[in-house]
């Protein structure tokens, strides 16, 4: 029986819209937790009630002369804003949006140096209200703002977005922030695109929320229809059928305008399905010359602008060899519908795979170990050599590798470990800038072609709130190459026990330790600093690693 028939037989769509937790688990404890995460199924309709609130806020900030909005958040609290900003952009007369979802000292200082206090406003976004990254960044930017304004006036430049009753909501009162916007507690972070986490930054940059929600609500109605005519159910079934046939690498190829949407899908898929040794592996392709010689483990999704005929031709060629599903958008604002389509699809996919798509059991482990690294209670695997300032470390399933004499030899154990059906993930703790990541993406494409396996490029620490769950909780088919830097700008965190550079490095090392504990095949290359020249040297070594 194919997956679509299974959805129909189990009445999965109706049970999902009725918020039946038994669709995902029979465990009593799990059922209650799942019930508290099903509030997104009618969010497109309920979002209408928040439009006036966020558009009035946007109008007030424009009247005060807002030129820049900085969003401090991670994962589900930030990725929708990234998508809407890059797909739709700021309307004329509206401020620019900067999403800082990294603890990179370089990115933080660069942003500080580019902004003017008078016209800058901040969204401090955290569902739990206790996420270490946005709270640390808030402390830095709050001190910066108070260099210019008295405390009460400085506080009016900060807006909290969180669940009711969280530490951040309580902090808002103590710190005299402008307002706290509450998100429904029954909506998990990665399913919160149409909550205030996504609507607020969209309103502040002048996105037409009524039209965005028109498309979202139309898709919501369609996704509540019977399985055979339901776009969310059909996508879920297509992914499940491909997965059952061995095509577990869900490869996302988009028009340039929609590339950031791939990052949003990546989190939704990886964090929802990567657990209990199961997992669909999302692979976001960036190259305009993406190879069509994929392995048999590839299923390809194409999301393109209707006018992108080159990608349409690519889809035709790929579809002859691999499972393919293609979507085209006449107008970029139709992206509102895609959020809904994918949320329904991945929830239903969880049912088909027999997992709970609403938890992330392994994410907290890396967080706890990060804290242990910061406090000196955790031992990090040591480097084995000094290759002109680049220090290699092998951990987990690669821990038996010997010290290399040259950088050209350092990657040999990683390449030798690749098995059929594996994927490689490059985990780069570098500034989110093209001058760093373009060389890595080019190297990844070459490595993928040479080895015949999927190669993903992940931005740290962003991926910790995205594919990090999959890396630990999913199948043992990942091979991980972590890139870090030792000498970083030392940005103090006011009131903190550590600097931003220490936090940034500890997040990488905490993940390294966690991957090793799960026996994942893991390698680290530690650079002297986060300079593009050293990175290009490493990128060349990666590109040539397969011969």
- For tokens 């918020």, name the residue: 19
Instruction: Identify the CATH homologous superfamily for domain 43-207.
Output: Glucose-6-phosphate isomerase like protein; domain 1 (3.40.50.10490)
pLDDT in tens, 315-372: 999 999 999 999 999 999 999 999 999 999 999 999 999 999 999 998 888 889 999 9
pLDDT in tens, 402-455: 999 999 899 999 999 999 999 999 999 999 999 999 999 999 999 998 999 999
Q: Is residue 288 scored above 60 in pLDDT?
A: no
Residue 546 is predicted with a pLDDT of: 76
Structure tokens at 204: 């502040």
Closest by Cα among 348, 370, 540 to 442 = 540
φ, ψ for residue 360, nearest 5 deg: -145, 70
The enclosing H or E element of 500 equals: helix 500-517
Q: Are the CB atoms for 494 and 487 separated by under 8 Å?
A: no
- Domain positions in the chain are 3-26+228-333+348-353, 43-207, 363-543
Query: pLDDT band for position 289 (50/70/90)?
Result: low
Residue 290 is predicted with a pLDDT of: 62
Q: Please determine whether the domains at 3-26+228-333+348-353 and 363-543 fall in the same fold group of CATH.
A: yes
Q: Is residue 547 scored above 80 in pLDDT?
A: no
- For tokens 């209707």, name the residue: 306
pLDDT in tens, 264-278: 999 999 999 999 999
Gap between the Cα atoms of 107 and 114, Å rounded = 11
Domain 363-543 grouped into CATH 3.40.50.10490:
yes
- pTM attached to this predicted model: 0.97
Mean pLDDT of 14-26: 96
Residue 28 is predicted with a pLDDT of: 86
* CATH architecture designation of domain 3-26+228-333+348-353: 3-Layer(aba) Sandwich (3.40)
Instruction: Please state the three-class secondary structure of 151-208 as a single string.
Output: HHHHHCCEEEEECCCCHHHHHHHHCCCCEEEECCCCCCHHHCCCCHHHHHHHHHCCCC
Q: Is residue 33 scored above 80 in pLDDT?
A: yes
Query: pLDDT band for position 129 (50/70/90)?
Result: very high
Residue 287 is predicted with a pLDDT of: 65
pLDDT in tens, 154-206: 999 999 999 999 999 999 999 999 999 999 999 999 999 999 999 999 999 99
Residue 541 is predicted with a pLDDT of: 93
Gap between the Cα atoms of 526 and 108, Å rounded = 21
Query: pLDDT band for position 29 (50/70/90)?
Result: confident
Percent of the chain at pLDDT exceeding 90: 92
Q: Is residue 293 scored above 60 in pLDDT?
A: yes
């Amino acid at each position: 029986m194919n997956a679509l028939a299974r959805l129909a037989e189990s009445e999965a769509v109706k049970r999902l819209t009725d918020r039946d937790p038994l669709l995902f688990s029979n465990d009593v404890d799990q059922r209650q937790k799942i019930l508290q995460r099903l509030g997104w199924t009618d969010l497109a309709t309920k979002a209408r009630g928040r439009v006036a609130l966020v558009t009035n806020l946007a109008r007030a900030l424009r009247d005060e002369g807002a030129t820049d909005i900085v969003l401090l958040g991670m994962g589900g609290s930030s990725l929708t804003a990234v998508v809407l900003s890059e797909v739709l952009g700021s309307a004329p007369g509206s401020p620019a949006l900067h999403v800082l979802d990294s603890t990179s000292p370089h990115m933080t200082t660069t942003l500080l140096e580019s902004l003017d206090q008078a016209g800058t406003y901040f969204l401090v976004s955290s569902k739990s209200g206790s996420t270490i990254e946005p709270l640390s960044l808030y402390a830095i930017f709050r001190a910066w703002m108070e260099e210019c304004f008295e405390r009460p006036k400085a506080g009016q430049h900060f807006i909290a977005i969180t669940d009711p009753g969280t530490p951040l909501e309580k902090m808002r009162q103590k710190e005299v922030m402008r307002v706290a916007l509450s998100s429904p507690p029954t909506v998990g972070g990665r399913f919160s695109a149409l909550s205030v986490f996504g609507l607020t930054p969209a309103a502040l940059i002048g996105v037409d929320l009524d039209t965005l929600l028109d498309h979202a609500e139309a898709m919501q109605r369609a996704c509540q229809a019977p399985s055979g005519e339901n776009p969310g159910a059909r996508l879920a079934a297509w992914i499940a059928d491909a997965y059952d046939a061995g095509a577990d690498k869900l490869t996302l190829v988009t028009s340039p305008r929609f590339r950031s949407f791939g990052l949003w899908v990546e989190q939704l898929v990886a964090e929802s399905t990567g657990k209990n040794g199961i997992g669909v592996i999302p692979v976001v392709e960036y190259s305009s010359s993406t190879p069509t010689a994929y392995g048999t483990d590839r299923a390809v999704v194409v999301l393109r602008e209707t006018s992108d005929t080159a990608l349409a031709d690519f889809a035709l060629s790929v579809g002859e060899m691999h499972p393919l599903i293609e979507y085209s958008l006449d107008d970029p604002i139709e992206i509102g519908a895609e959020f809904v389509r994918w949320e329904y699809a991945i929830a239903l996919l969880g049912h088909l795979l027999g997992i709970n798509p609403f938890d992330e059991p392994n994410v907290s482990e890396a967080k706890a170990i990060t804290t242990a690294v910061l406090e000196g209670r955790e031992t990090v695997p040591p480097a084995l050599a000094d290759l002109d300032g680049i220090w290699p470390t092998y951990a987990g399933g690669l821990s038996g590798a010997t010290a290399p004499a040259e950088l050209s030899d350092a990657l040999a154990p990683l390449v030798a470990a690749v098995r059929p059906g594996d994927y490689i993930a490059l985990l780069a703790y570098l500034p989110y800038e093209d001058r760093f990541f373009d060389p890595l993406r080019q190297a990844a494409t070459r490595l993928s072609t040479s080895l015949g396996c999927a190669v993903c490029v992940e931005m740290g620490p962003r991926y910790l709130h995205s594919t990090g769950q999959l890396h630990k909780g999913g199948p043992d088919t990942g091979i991980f190459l972590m890139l870090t830097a030792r000498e970083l700008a030392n940005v103090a965190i006011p009131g903190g026990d550590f600097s931003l550079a220490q936090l940034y490095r500890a997040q990488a090392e905490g993940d390294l330790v966690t991957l090793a504990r799960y026996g994942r095949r893991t390698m680290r290359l530690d650079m002297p600093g986060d300079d593009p020249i050293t990175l290009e040297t490493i990128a060349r070594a990666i590109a040539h690693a397969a011969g």
